[in-house]
Structure formats: C-alpha cells, structure tokens
Amino acid sequence: MNRLISILASCDLEDITSLRRLYKENCKYSYCGIDIICSETYRDTPECVRFTLHIPLELLNLPGHNSKDDIVLADFCLREFVRQIDEISLSKYSVTGKEKYTGSIYIYHPGPQILLRNVSYIQDGALEIVLRIQFPVLMKEKHYVVSGRSSSKIVKKDLARAIRNFIQQFDVGRYENNLVLFNRQQEIRALLDERGYISFVANDSILPRGEGQLPLEGAVPFTSPKEDEVEIELSDGFILKGMAIREGINVITGGGYSGKSTFLDSVLAGIYNHIQGDGREYCITRTNSCKIVAEEGRCISNLDISPFITKTKTLNTEMFSTQDASGSTSQAANIIEAISFGCKTLFVDEDRTATNFMIKDARMKSLISDDPIIPFTDRIRQIYNEAKVSTMLIIGGSSEYLDIADDIYLMTNYRIANITVKAKNIAKEKNIDNLLKGSKPHWIQKRYIYHGAMGTYIKDMNTQRIRENLEISGKTIIVGNYKFKTEKIDTISTKAQLTAIAFLIRAVLINHTPCVDIYEQMNQIYVRISREGFGFLYTSKFPLESDMELPNIQDVLFALSRIQQGEWITEMSDDDIAEAKAREKNKVFQVVLLDNFR
C-alpha cells in the first residue's frame, strides 16, 4: 500500500501519463490481506485508473459457501461496498485563478435486479470488486497535471477506509437472509415450468413504482383473484399465496389509469430476481419472455413474415428485407424473431402496437377482402397450439380480443379480477377458420450471420487509418459501420446491460467462421460467461464504461437483428457461395436466413 501511495505522490505536478506506472510496473498492491490490482481504462483518460479488489472469501467469515450462490453473494457484496463508498465525503480542492482540481471514486450502483456482473463476481475462491478512481487533475499553464498529494490521500484515507469498513462491518446474517430470498425465488422459478405457469405474483406485492424505481409509497398491495389464487409451499416450509398466470392466451383489460400497464411491466420485470425491499420480490416470470411492440423504422433482414403478411406481386414477404419497416411489418418481424430465438411468452400492450396488424373485425374483412395482412388475433391461437408460445395482451378498446382469450382479467384502481365467464357471455362469436387453412407457417426460423472479412472496422476519415470501432450513442450500439438500435427493446433495463450487448455483438462479429447460427453461437458465448465471467469479452481500448450486467439472451439477439447497413441475400446455392466468397474482399456484412444451407 505504501508503494502504491508513493507512486501516486510522485505524480505531483507531472504529466498525467506518469500514472501509467500504476498498471505497467508491479501493478499488484496489498492492504489488510486484500490485493489491489490496477489496470488502465480507455487510453484517452489515463488519470482514471481501474482498481480491482481481490478479497479472499475467508475474510468475510462466511459459515459455508456454495458456488451456486456466487451470484447472490457478489450482488450483496457490491451493494455493501457501494454503501461504504457513498458514505465517503471526498474533499474537493480548489485555489484561485486558473488552478483547480477534483477527485472522485466511481463504482457501479446496481438496480433492484440480481444479475451476473463484471463489477462484482466470485472467481477462484475470492471476491473481485471493480471500481474506478478519477485522480485530481490540476490545470496549470494550459496543461493538465495530476495532483499527487491529493491522489494519494484518496487512496490512503478514502479507499482504505472503505475496504477496512467493508470487511469489519460485513453482516453475515443479512447476507444469509438475502440468500434465503434468492433460493426461494429460484425454487418458484423452477415451479413455473413444472406447473404450466407463465408467472406468479404473490399477494401483498407492491407493483407501482415511485421515484428512482422504488415501491410507490401508499400504493395498493396486490391481491390475487380467488379463481387464480394458488398456494406454494417451498422446501424450507415457507408458504406463499398469490396469482398464478397460466399458459395460453391471457387478456387484461380496464379503463384508463386502472393499472393495466403497471401490472404488465411488473410481470415482465419478474424475468429477473429482485432484492429485498423492492416490493416485487415474489413476482416471478419465466426468463424466456419478451415484450412485443410496433417498431416503425426498424431494419429487417431476410425474414419470413408471410405468416402475417402474405406475398403480393410487389412484395416478397417470404424473404423480407427493409431498412425502414412499417408498424405492421416490424411487429410481424418482432414476433417471428421472438419465437425463433426461444421466447415462450409474448407480452403485448395494445397502446404500443400497430392497430391494423393486431385486429380486424368481420365488417372490415368483408370490405377489404384482398388485404395481405393477417391480424395477430387470427394467428394467436395457432401460435400457442403449434409453437407452444403463450401471450398476455393488455387491451382497452375492442371486444374482439375477448373471443380468443383463455382467461380475461379486469383491472380497476390497481385491483385485478377474473371476469372470464362474464366476458365470454358478452363476446360475439366469429369464424376465423378460413384464415388458418392451408400449409402451416414456419414459426421457428434459423438465423445465420455471414461474416465476410470483418464487421467491426471503420476508416477514420481524418487520419485515413483503419481502426476497430465500438461505441454507444444513447440506446444505439455502433460496431464498425453498423448500427443496432435498441430503443424499443423494453427488457434492456440498464446501461450496463447495453454495454454487455455491445461487447457480445462484437464477440459474434469477430468470429471468423464464415457462416454461423447466431442463436447457437450466442448460447455458446453465454455458457462461457457462466464458466469464466465477462473477462474474455471486455477490452479497454474503446471509450465505453467497463460496467456490464448480463441481459437475457433474447435481448442480445433482438439487438443483433436490428442491424442497419449491409446487403442481404436469400439462399446460398453453389453460385451464391462463390459470390459470397468474392464479396469477402469487399468486407460485406450480412445476416442471412438459410433453410437449406450447405
């Protein structure tokens, strides 16, 4: 520790590049039995240094630790260390005139979800916590220099105190309570598939969100409809009562501001486990669930959307590509991709859909007999029967949805009631058999990516040099010359997940195998992450924050499917393959659907 402080102090009034000594020369330091490892962040900010704390688990005095509990231990430790950092009041130094400088310790503040992260993880019997320190910089005579005295104070007093307090104040009892909650959540999650449930929402859950995604103060606690209430007894004897949402087609209706969207958002949030105090601790949903929206303007590459948009003289919907999709074609593509990428539950909010795609009543069908759009409601039963994919619909404007529902619920002032019998008696009968005759649609389509030479490089117009490019602008990921827009992928809940998706897409693109199934390849990458962590994905050469949280695999594939630019091909005969090889020289990047790839 003294050696680390000595190096920092020697940087006083020197050029900031002298800080590179921290991670280029003997970059491992020790304090209280904890190793401190320094490494660089993005090369343009050398005064911001990445610190990894290597904490042996025996220092935490845990009575026993199983590797299956790694994710919850890492999550709990991160939150505890964040609390220690937040209690530090870093001094800010300033002097008159042009000279002023500040310093800060940055650590990722997690949301309510319990996720696999690269900022806190268990590896080789030790806890690894990653943070960044922005050392004080003094502006003097038009040059930036590091204030070594102030920098050493941050490490000597503030960081050292946070480390010391974290170890001394570690509450084993609170951790074990969190572990019990996590194990219960995992057990309920396993029961969903076993019992044929989409989701389980416990009674007394607080679903509405207030400021900062905290439970809304004074909100109405959730109460299950009696028809859907189940009792779950877990292996530790803990008993829960709540609403079981069954597989099939579920419709939720109600007036404005009745709580429909809040309920949908809370159920969808249940794809991740939540921490104690979130209010949705026992709101558990199958992880292979996603939200479907209309996404006007999205790119679609070589996808068969004919189950919803029939082929016309001017439009080949069996191999459909566009750089600017309409609301109906985008929603058709989103559903096909979701099913193809393994989603087993689709969540649909009527307010965010294309009306002409969702439904068409009998009068309009008679009036427009040659419409190429087959409404979603005419296919929804077929999707469940043939692809075993359930749907939850939030509606408010048409009774046509009631005909195809297995269960119908009414929201009133954030309270839910099962009105299936009443709604079925009110609903009018209709015949949709004529739309379902003929060959069965191909619901599951394999998606292949043809790499060409490489997909991650750009040419710098100023220097004319070729360089690899990876950046995030808002919710758009930029890799090489390609953009991946993620604004409408609602299950991407944090910037850290967006960063992970950027590096995951890069991992796919730098694979030199000529043509790979992206779903299969992404599964392989996820297996490797579960075994090794994020280390093989991350590199500091891009101007991205290093914090990453693992998103659902479907979210990564949805983002990858929204690639902009490139050329698309439909099949690969021998001539096509020869042409593709020729295109490698021109660095053409393609996403390809191949039913009979050879």
Closest to 416 measured CA to CA, from 280, 243, 285, 286: 243
- With a cut of 80, say whether residue 423 has pLDDT above it: yes
pLDDT at 465: 82
pLDDT at 26: 64
Question: E strand or H helix at 36, and its extent?
Answer: strand 34-40
More confident residue, 559 or 361: 559
- With a cut of 60, say whether residue 432 has pLDDT above it: no
CA distance 52 to 38: 6
pLDDT at 42: 85
What tens digit of pLDDT does each residue of 209-238 get?
998 889 999 999 999 999 999 999 999 999
CB atoms near residue 339 (< 10 Å): 23
Positive/negative CA dihedral, 248, 249, 254, 259: positive
Average pLDDT, the chain: 86
What tens digit of pLDDT does each residue of 463-520 get?
778 888 999 999 999 998 889 999 999 999 899 999 999 999 999 888 877 778 899 9
- With a cut of 80, say whether residue 570 has pLDDT above it: no
Question: E strand or H helix at 478, and its extent?
Answer: strand 476-479
- With a cut of 70, say whether residue 576 has pLDDT above it: no
What tens digit of pLDDT does each residue of 201-214 get?
999 999 999 988 89
Q: Any idea which of 94-103, 116-125, 336-345, 537-546 has the lowest mean pLDDT?
A: 94-103
404 DSSP 8-state letter: G
pLDDT at 594: 41
Closest to 456 measured CA to CA, from 489, 492, 503: 503
SS3 sequence, 337-388? HHHHCCCCEEEEEHHHCCHHHHCCCHHHHHHCCCCCECCHHHHHHHHHHHHC
Share of the chain above pLDDT 70, in %: 87
149: confidence class by pLDDT, cuts 50, 70, 90: confident
- With a cut of 70, say whether residue 584 has pLDDT above it: no
Compute, in degrees rounded to 10, the torsion defined by CA atoms 149, 151, 155, 157.
50
pLDDT at 312: 79
